[in-house]
Amino acid sequence: MKTFYIETFGCQMNAHDSEKVIGTLVSEGYTQVPTPDAAELVFYNTCSIRDKAEQKVFHRLDQFKRDGKGKTFAVLGCVAQQEGAKIFEKAPHVSMVCGSASYNQLPQMLVQLEAGNRRVTGLNLDTEDTFETPLTRRNNPHRAYITIIEGCDKACAYCVVPFTRGPERSRTSESVLSEARQLADMGYSEIQLLGQNVNSYRDPSPAGWDFAQILDAVGRVAGIRRVRFTTSHPRDFVKPIVDAIDSNPALCNHVHLPVQSGSTRVLEAMQRLYTREQYLERIAWMKAARRPIAITSDIIVGFPGETEADFEATLGLLDEVEYDAIFGFKYSRRPNTPALALGDQIPEEEKSRRLAIAQERQRQIQIRRNAGYVGAVEECLVEGFNKATGQWIGRTTQHKTLNFLHAAAGGDDLTGKYVAVRVTRAGPNSLVGEWVG
Ligand code: SAH
Ligand code: SF4
Ligand code: F3S
């Protein structure tokens, strides 16, 4: 019996890569087990976006330094690509190091491991290939990820992704659409299109579709009720995307458009390729839409040289946009990135201070915004039941969590169903309501 365990860190692209890796392993005769102790092969699919994320895999590996005998360890994902064979020095009990651009080679690499090879690598980045497999093992029966573009051609000064995932490669529109149709046939009703920069999707087939076209087409697949996408880069976020959302009811009322900073000076140092004003123009398109589009963002505080005035500009932007949610991060110095060479690092305590201020400012905005939903009836896709609170967990088209009561407390399974819920209360991070139909 060949058993494996896999733990995944990082973004949705990594989560979906793991679903494809699991499918590949299962088709090679391996069986997934729920704990590393029970496994012969232990996989870590890693993230390197910030230093803390990278350290996680080394903590895990350290735990097995002594008692990992008889097991084979494999490091996949962004830390694998970034560190390469150096991982064998840091953690000599690791036998496989493989970046995401080489997952097509996994079956051959497994054969090498079985043959007793103790050092197997897949680190080639100059590939035109995308990792497509009919064997994907999705772990949610209602909501499915589809990768439409891999890699990133931007060069944001702080970011490891261009180094860990290589250049952009888009899938053909036909292969994306046929996967969407298959998923609909299997009963999936929500699809999330994935890419580090979905907006720069470019169909390599003669049809030559851009992102707005593939988005609209996936939203027209019979049986698909909701389509989401992540992540959008403001530079490539064009008006036709908003027009598609406005005219196609299956496209969700939500756009994640990371701004990173509200200061044009810092945006320039970050090499983000847009100004504050250009970013706000994109926000204005969304606010002018007929449908109420929820907008979320990422911000980085404490980028080298960020002054108090720059930081204030970010706070001012939060007030101006009134995001539905943000993810805030303290700048983390990353290997290979251009920002490493910049002087004027911001002290850790100062970054923490700025992050806390930004998050508190945003919390107040969310309290205000969410209060506006009280009384409204929202359609939710039910994600599960929370035994502790006796509430069902739903997700609105705007990607807000809406917990609600229903007479069938845990009885009939509502999971995967679309229900109407009246919002009765609102907090900064979620809504509470009652089932109405
Ligand atoms: N492709 C996406 C971002 C993926 S990384 C985009 O362009 O928006 C997710 C988020 O992590 C980024 O939006 C950024 O806010 C944050 N991030 C990336 N590198 C970082 C670093 N070195 N330090 C702190 N945060 C970082
Ligand atoms: Fe990183 Fe910038 Fe590419 Fe996003 S667009 S993945 S932040 S380099
Ligand atoms: Fe992390 Fe790689 Fe995703 S660095 S955020 S797992 S692309």
pLDDT in tens, 18-35: 999 999 999 999 999 999
Residue of 12, 13, 19, 156 to mutate, ligand 3, most atoms within 8 A of C-beta: 13
Ordered DSSP codes for 41-86? EEEEEE--SSHHHHHHHHHHHHHTTTT-TT-EEEEEHHHHHHHTTH
Banded pLDDT at 134 (limits 50, 70, 90): confident
Supply the residue whose CA is at minimum distance from atom 12 of ligand 1.
Answer: 298
Average predicted confidence (pLDDT) for the chain: 95
Closest CA relative to residue 16, chosen from 53, 49, 45: 45
Separation of CA 159 and ligand 1 centre (Å)? 6
Tell me the average pLDDT across 278-295: 98
CB-CB neighbours of 436 under 10 Å: 12
Whether 40 shows a pLDDT value over 70: the answer reads: yes
Amino acid 409: pLDDT: 52
Ligand nearest the Cα of residue 12 is: 3
Burial class (CB in 10 A: 0-12, 13-18, 19+), 248: middle
Banded pLDDT at 128 (limits 50, 70, 90): confident
Amino acid 293: pLDDT: 98
CATH number for the domain whose boundaries are 377-435:
2.40.50.140
For the 143-371 domain, the top CATH level (class) is alpha beta
Amino acid 202: pLDDT: 98
Ligand nearest the Cα of residue 82 is: 3
Amino acid 129: pLDDT: 85
Residue of 14, 153, 163 to mutate, ligand 3, most atoms within 8 A of C-beta: 14
Closest CA relative to residue 421, chosen from 386, 388, 374, 387: 374
Better-predicted residue by pLDDT, 135 or 183: 183
95 lines ligand 2 (CB under 6 A): no
Separation of CA 408 and ligand 2 centre (Å)? 45
Q: Which CATH superfamily is domain 2-122 in?
A: Methylthiotransferase, N-terminal domain (3.40.50.12160)
Tell me the average pLDDT across 255-283: 98
Domains 2-122 and 377-435 share a fold: no
Domain extent listing, the chain? 2-122, 143-371, 377-435
The SS3 call for residue 32 is strand
61, 73 Cβ separation under 8 angstroms: yes
Supply the residue whose CA is at minimum distance from atom 5 of ligand 1.
Answer: 49
Banded pLDDT at 319 (limits 50, 70, 90): very high
Separation of CA 415 and ligand 2 centre (Å)? 35
Amino acid 411: pLDDT: 61
Banded pLDDT at 408 (limits 50, 70, 90): low
Amino acid 299: pLDDT: 98
Ligand nearest the Cα of residue 298 is: 1
Report the alpha-carbon distance of residue 390 to residue 404 in Å, rounded: 9
